[in-house]
Amino acid sequence: MKDNAICMFLMKKYRINILKFKVSHTSFCILYSTISYIVYNFINFDKISKWFYIKSEFDYIGLSAFYLIGLCLSIAVFILFAHRWTIKPLAILLTILSGISTYFIAKYDVAIDTSMIVNALNTDTTEVRGLLSIQMVPYLIFLIILPIIVIYFVGITFSGKVKYLLGSITLFASAMVLALGLLYAQFNPIHRAGNMSKKYIIHQLIPVNHMRSIISIIQSRIKTYLPKDDIKEIEVSAHTTTRDNLVVVLAVGESARQKNFSLYGYAKQNTNPILSKDKNLHMLNGVAKYGSTLYALPEILTKEEVPLATITAKAGINTACYSHFSLYDNCGTVGETRVSNCGHGGRCYDEDVIPLLNDNLKSYTSGYKFIVLHLGGGSHGPNYQKRYPPEFQRFHPMCLDADVVNKCTIDELYNSYDNTILYTDYVLGNIINELDNSGVPYVFIYISDHGESLMENDRVFHGMPPGIPLPPEQRHVPLIVKSSIPLSILKRQEYRQPDVYDSILDLLSVESNITDKEGSFLKK
Ligand SMILES: [Zn+2]
């Protein structure tokens, strides 16, 4: 109050009418977002730009597109929440967060993500004091206090309702269209930099990082108040039409591509020494639709929002899901058992699902049974060598750096990736061996969620923007079938992932309102 009075006095005495600095609501949104974006991100420019080097050449176009997308998103989100009573508090809140983040990114090179913001909200004052230092003073003055004073004194004018609404919508829509257009145009370099930096390019981009975290915190808070999905009764009827004895085992892989399976003709080195000895395998041309695990797993395991495991369980079939990493709720009401007590000094690998499978098989006497095995380690980059135990580092020299583009040769990259396929060969070989030894009547199916790019057309890892089809190396995934019972496999050019869902229901004689017999390619 006292400060305010002094201010008023000075303003009167020197006839300063700061309110003369008037800007319209949309101009303020653009000016505030752009100026703060440039200032805060300029200080840590080197931290983000370093991920846009490709073989010592700087990708100016990719980097510019990335920064422009960030600016457009900042403007779009800002205008969405910045209205007559919220615009200044929002600008002040973002200024405080941005100033503090700039300091911590500059000093500690940290990622400002959701967990960081949650921690900051729960930090007590002694911890805060421990983090503060004299070096923070200039940041505090120039990046927080001065901007807040300016924001406080700027006069913002608001037009009439219709004009105001139209102006806001136009700005929001233009920013979003520009951001999306640039993302599609420069997807490859941005996707590559995002993966190699472990998303640091987003966690360090101010204020996109805060906006993303705050939105996700709000989302999760709202979720806790909403009725849980799994409580909702699934409206699906399912029953088995005939009784039979059969165990269906579906193994779901991660980032495995046909191109590097010797079984599918890969000739550089033998990545399938175990499976290639088995003459009773069927190698089919599996195709994936989505390049992201989050979307790809439901392609295999869920249809019309009903998880395959939920439907088999509902039909009275003994069902279990064993997972290394996460199946992201795709086992529905059955839930998933994660691997634990792993060998290799407590470090878990894909092979750790096998003891769970064995225990389950021991209890089998007769009837139908369905088991999902999630080999979630698979061939996921960029640190391929972390996906297999050390004894599977057989192809040398390997690429051991997350910056696979700049620090590794193509040969090294292939060796690291091929070791993951070699390990998958070992795990699948063991699963099949256990099934054979158990003596149960079985059908075994292995399919990967999507493939992987290894510098084909400068692409690495997996994922494409929505609506853009997957490139061949990500699209063609191994689909391997083996059975101990007579089985006919319908001949098709390509086998889609949802066909696996239908085939499993067909094998288990499950009739339901979402069964599609046409999709099934496995016939008893
Ligand atoms: Zn995946």
pLDDT in tens, 408-427: 999 999 999 999 999 999 99
Tokens of 203: 């966690």
pLDDT at residue 304, as a whole number: 87
- On whether both 217 and 300 belong to a single domain, the answer is no
CA–centroid distance, residue 302 to ligand 1 (Å):
15
Q: Please check the confidence at residue 111 and state whether its pLDDT lies above 50.
A: yes
Average pLDDT over residues 150-160: 91
Q: What is the pLDDT of residues 431-459, one digit of tens each?
A: 999 999 999 999 999 999 999 999 998 88
From 46-50, 104-108, 263-267, 381-385, the region with the lowest mean pLDDT = 104-108
Q: Shortest CA distance to 264 belongs to which of 424, 375, 488?
A: 424
Q: 233 in a domain, yes or no?
A: no
Any idea what DSSP says for residue 105? H
Q: Which residue has the higher pLDDT, 217 or 76?
A: 76
- On whether both 198 and 247 belong to a single domain, the answer is no
CA–centroid distance, residue 282 to ligand 1 (Å):
23
Q: 427 in a domain, yes or no?
A: yes
Q: Please check the confidence at residue 481 and state whether its pLDDT lies above 50.
A: yes
Most confident region among 226-240, 377-391, 489-503 by mean pLDDT: 489-503
CA–centroid distance, residue 43 to ligand 1 (Å):
35
Tokens of 409: 């040769």
- On whether both 35 and 137 belong to a single domain, the answer is yes
pLDDT at residue 239, as a whole number: 81
pLDDT at residue 114, as a whole number: 77
pLDDT at residue 226, as a whole number: 73
- On whether both 63 and 132 belong to a single domain, the answer is yes
CA–centroid distance, residue 387 to ligand 1 (Å):
13
- On whether both 442 and 478 belong to a single domain, the answer is yes
Q: Please check the confidence at residue 18 and state whether its pLDDT lies above 70.
A: no
- On whether both 168 and 190 belong to a single domain, the answer is yes
pLDDT at residue 231, as a whole number: 44
Average pLDDT over residues 72-100: 94
Measured from the Cβ of residue 124, the count of other Cβ atoms closer than 10 Å reads: 7
> Which residue, 186, 204, 225, sits at the end of a domain?
225
- On whether both 117 and 252 belong to a single domain, the answer is no
CA–centroid distance, residue 94 to ligand 1 (Å):
35
Tokens of 507: 């094998």
> Which residue, 197, 225, 253, sits at the end of a domain?
225
- On whether both 438 and 289 belong to a single domain, the answer is yes
Q: 349 in a domain, yes or no?
A: yes
Conformation bin of residue 98: beta by default, left when phi > 0, alpha when psi is -120 to 50: alpha
> Domain span at residue 469?
238-523
CA–centroid distance, residue 179 to ligand 1 (Å):
26
CA–centroid distance, residue 195 to ligand 1 (Å):
13
What is the CATH classification number for the domain harbouring 494? 3.40.720.10
CA–centroid distance, residue 107 to ligand 1 (Å):
34
- On whether both 289 and 151 belong to a single domain, the answer is no
CA–centroid distance, residue 78 to ligand 1 (Å):
33
Q: 42 in a domain, yes or no?
A: yes
Which residue has tokens 């067909």? 506
pLDDT at residue 129, as a whole number: 59
Q: 232 in a domain, yes or no?
A: no
Rounded Cα–Cα distance for residues 324 and 301 (Å)? 16
Q: 264 in a domain, yes or no?
A: yes
pLDDT at residue 354, as a whole number: 96
Q: 324 in a domain, yes or no?
A: yes
CA–centroid distance, residue 452 to ligand 1 (Å):
9
Average pLDDT over residues 390-401: 93
- On whether both 296 and 334 belong to a single domain, the answer is yes
- Dihedral of the alpha carbons of 252, 254, 258, 264, in degrees to the nearest 10: -50
Question: Where does the pLDDT of residue 273 fall: very low under 50, low under 70, confident under 90, or very high at 90 and above?
Answer: very high
Q: What is the pLDDT of residues 325-374, one digit of tens each?
A: 889 999 998 999 999 888 888 899 999 999 999 999 999 999 999 999 99
Any idea what DSSP says for residue 458? T
The chain-wide mean pLDDT, for the chain, equals 89
CA–centroid distance, residue 251 to ligand 1 (Å):
13
Q: Please check the confidence at residue 275 and state whether its pLDDT lies above 80.
A: yes
pLDDT at residue 472, as a whole number: 96
CA atoms within 13 A on the CB side of 320: 22
pLDDT at residue 122, as a whole number: 66
Q: Shortest CA distance to 41 belongs to which of 185, 210, 227, 181?
A: 210
CA–centroid distance, residue 451 to ligand 1 (Å):
8
Q: Please check the confidence at residue 206 and state whether its pLDDT lies above 90.
A: yes
Which residue has tokens 């967060």? 97
- On whether both 134 and 269 belong to a single domain, the answer is no
Q: Please check the confidence at residue 126 and state whether its pLDDT lies above 70.
A: no
pLDDT at residue 151, as a whole number: 94
Q: 230 in a domain, yes or no?
A: no
Q: Please check the confidence at residue 243 and state whether its pLDDT lies above 90.
A: no
Any idea what DSSP says for residue 379? T
CA–centroid distance, residue 41 to ligand 1 (Å):
32
- On whether both 302 and 437 belong to a single domain, the answer is yes
Measured between alpha carbons, how far is residue 490 from residues 247, 312, 521, 522 in Å? 20, 23, 5, 7
Please state the pTM of the whole predicted model. Answer: 0.79
Q: Which residue has the higher pLDDT, 17 or 47?
A: 47
Which residue has tokens 């998880």? 307
CA–centroid distance, residue 292 to ligand 1 (Å):
5
Burial of 459 per CB tally in 10 Å (0-12, 13-18, 19+)? buried
Q: Please check the confidence at residue 251 and state whether its pLDDT lies above 80.
A: yes
pLDDT at residue 130, as a whole number: 57
Q: Please check the confidence at residue 1 and state whether its pLDDT lies above 60.
A: no
CA–centroid distance, residue 413 to ligand 1 (Å):
18
CA–centroid distance, residue 378 to ligand 1 (Å):
9
Q: Work out the percent of the chain whose per-residue pLDDT is above 70.
A: 92
CA–centroid distance, residue 460 to ligand 1 (Å):
14
Strand partners, 422: none
Average pLDDT over residues 168-189: 95
> Which residue, 174, 203, 225, sits at the end of a domain?
225
pLDDT at residue 9, as a whole number: 59
From 48-52, 124-128, 166-170, 499-503, the region with the lowest mean pLDDT = 124-128
Tokens of 474: 């990500």
CA atoms within 13 A on the CB side of 451: 28
Most confident region among 137-141, 343-347, 403-407, 431-435 by mean pLDDT: 431-435
Q: What is the pLDDT of residues 186-199, one digit of tens each?
A: 999 999 999 888 88
Backbone φ and ψ for 273, nearest 5 degrees, come out as -65, -30
Average pLDDT over residues 318-324: 96
The structural domain count of the chain equals 2
3-class state of residue 453 by DSSP: strand
